[in-house]
Structure 1
Amino acid sequence: MSRPLRTVPARLLALAMAAVTLTACSQAPAAQETRQAAAPQPGFPVTVENCGRELTFDQPPSKVVTGYHPSLETLLALGLGDRIAGRTFFGESAFLPGQKEQYDRIPQISETIMLPQKEVMLAQSADFVLDNAMASFDAAGGYATVEELDAAGSPVYILGGWCSPEEVLRFTIDDTFTDLRNLGKIFGVPDQAEKLVGELQAQLADVKKRVEGRTPVKVLATDGGKGPVNAYGGSGITQQMIALAGGENVLKDVKGDYTEVSVEKVSASQPEAVLVSDYATLRGEDMPSSPAKAEEAFAIAKNSPAAKDKRYLALPVAAQHPGYRNILAVTDIARFLHPDAFAQ
């Protein structure tokens, strides 16, 4: 699953992936020779699988470049901010507590949420690249490909396995835990990763206990539009977050994740609550605010309980892309849908 001054909208990164394929490749000999020359470290080498490729590390990365927001905040959550040498722009995005200060200290290498163009990217000499979509590795867009970065000793890891449109639809919350454990191995901090996984699993268990037995709230998840409507169907991250939070996606029978849905379909869906993708960074004529998008939804589903109650939640779009924030968002959505369950 977007960014500043007129670039590909973060939530639409999944659509951009349709034009990009990830070719299986192994780490470049040059990168391997560099690592073999380094002094061996306890617990290394480690090998993880990502996007059908095996990535082997003889030592923890120390010069990391991160892409869109969820990739940066996932590393920060693991306490790895000091390893990040460059990051993309997402300005006034919805930062988690304490992360904006860390974001400000990391050098910015791109004026958009996308990684920089090929020459600039290769010049970073990164020893690890973390992102959550394939759009920033599209040669047709002037970006360095996964293969080119790999050959330069900058192996790429894609969060959530969002390596193809099909894999976007197959994403499960468990993929987030796999990512955290893999990153823990790669950076030599498996205990930190396991601790974070345990905390997040406990949050999910708490939400499940609180909403269990309650009538699911009918939810429309939308990114705006007066016709057709940009909305979220029955596959992918948003669908799962709604279900885990005690909701029922009114478009669960619609194939796909982020997709276009007819006005008639939305009008007949009768949601009791609306989730609106919130792009805090981009605002303008082509990027309406969350309240404006909510009003669009209410106008289409005008006789619905959600419209009558003006009931909506602005959900940071970063939470709708792979990253550890997915689990935090489940709690936020559950509190919105079932406030009484969190009253105690």
Structure 2
Amino acid sequence: MKTLKRTWLVLTIATLSILAACGNGEEQKPATQSEQLDPAKAAATEVMIENNDTTQIYTEAPKKAISLNQHVTEIMLALGLEDSMVGTAYLDDEIYAPLKDVYDKVPVLAEQYPTKEQVIDAEADFLYAGWKSGFSEKGVGTPEELEALGIHTYLHTSSSITKPLLEDIFTDIRNIAKIFQVEEHGEALIEQMSKEVEDIRAKLPQSEDELRVLIFDSGKQDVTTAGQNFMNELVTVAGGKNIFGDVESGWTTVSKEDTVERNPEVIVVIDYGTTSAEGKINFLKNDPALKETDAVMNERFVILPLSAASEGVRAAEAIQILAQGFYPKSFQ
């Protein structure tokens, strides 16, 4: 993935350069007398976003944003918005390497979700959550509570729907770029991600049947796997077939018997938490039922970090990891 990482570095540097150039340009002028007298002209400068059952109206780009989950933190950094951020939170694992330098410039407010008091102390004007839990009672607070404090909110839509596609991530990126008035950077990021995916897809074998793939999150008595969440899209784009892609839910629990009957040829092991990927693979190799699948007998495992499996800027890298694991001869 050296080429991919170099591309990200070039994109990030270009984004920062554009932002610096914009900062040296003309300052935003106050509304003219005609604009003050004409509400239609003033309204033209507003940005309205429908999100999470709320209507958010922005009269200017947020200046003190906080990202609440890793994959949305990485989206903001990839858009060059670190100077508009007063905090981040909730890493799943190491930050995406091409973004680490800019990530280090932003304060980390909490290992998990920050408290409402921390958000207020940071004088935040915008909160960006990757998961619905961010805006729950157990998270930072509801959108209504935060709006009463003068804080805008955005919930990453592609992480909150069933069967999200790559295009849903692009919609989120466009919305964030629009909110922060960096639309050109948003389109450049989407174009780059799309090109990377197209280049990977071009290497996939065209004549072979799709591989039967099990996504293994965890499980002892039963198997926790992906139904129609984003992992289903990643596996499909990488040329595989999720054996539980017909289950109409996100993460789901299935029986070992059903797993053995569907007989995966490859197992994607999601790497996160206290049990290492190697530990999960050892479990699969020693489980009386699961060790009888083709994937385990042929030791065909692909390890994917949880952060890469989320609906963020690592989508192309995740597809690359999967495609190489599914069809290694095509990527030699």
Question: Which whole-Å CA distance do the structure 2 matches of 1:293 and 1:39 have between them?
Answer: 59
Computed over aligned residues only, the root mean square deviation of the Cα atoms, in angstroms, reads 2.3
Question: Which whole-Å CA distance do the structure 1 matches of 2:163 and 2:129 have between them?
Answer: 18
1:274 is aligned with what amino acid? I
2:328 maps to 1:339: yes
Instruction: Output the TM-score relative to the length of structure 1.
Output: 0.78
1:137-148 aligned within 5 A: 137-139=135-137, 141=138, 143-148=140-145
Aligned equivalent of 2:241, options 230, 245, 248? 248
Residues 1:100 and 1:341: Cα distance change in structure 2 (over 3 Å): same
2:302 maps to 1:313: yes
Deviations 1:215-272 (A, max 9, x none): 2121110111111111112x12011110110001122233312011112112222211
1:222 is aligned with what amino acid? F
CA contact (8 A) 1:224 1:297 kept: no
SS at match of 1:98: helix
Q: Give the superposition deviation at 1:213.
A: 3.6
CA contact (8 A) 1:274 1:294 kept: no
Q: Give the superposition deviation at 1:86.
A: 0.6
Bigger mean CA deviation after superposition, 75-84 or 297-306? 297-306
Residues 1:268 and 1:94: Cα distance change in structure 2 (over 3 Å): farther
Question: Match for residue 106 of structure 2?
Answer: 106
Deviations 1:70-99 (A, max 9, x none): 0111111111122111111427x1332232
Instruction: Output the TM-score relative to the length of structure 2.
Output: 0.81
Question: Match for residue 304 of structure 1?
Answer: 293
1:1-344 aligned within 5 A: 39=30, 44-90=45-91, 93-112=93-112, 115-139=113-137, 141=138, 143-163=140-160, 167=161, 169-211=162-204, 212-233=206-227, 235-279=228-272, 282=273, 287-298=274-285, 299=287, 300-343=289-332
Q: Point out 4+ residue stretches in structure 1 off by more than 6 angstroms.
A: none
How many pairs align?
291
Q: Give the superposition deviation at 1:170.
A: 4.0
1:227 is aligned with what amino acid? Q
Q: Which has the higher contact order (CA 8 A, sep 6+)?
A: 1
Question: Which whole-Å CA distance do the structure 1 matches of 2:208 and 2:253 have between them?
Answer: 30
- Specify every segment of 5 or more residues in structure 2 that has no aligned partner in the other structure, as ranges: 1-28, 32-41
Question: Which whole-Å CA distance do the structure 2 matches of 1:84 and 1:307 have between them?
Answer: 45
- Specify every segment of 5 or more residues in structure 1 that has no aligned partner in the other structure, as ranges: 1-37
Question: Match for residue 16 of structure 1?
Answer: none
Question: Which whole-Å CA distance do the structure 2 matches of 1:72 and 1:137 have between them?
Answer: 16
Question: Match for residue 15 of structure 1?
Answer: none
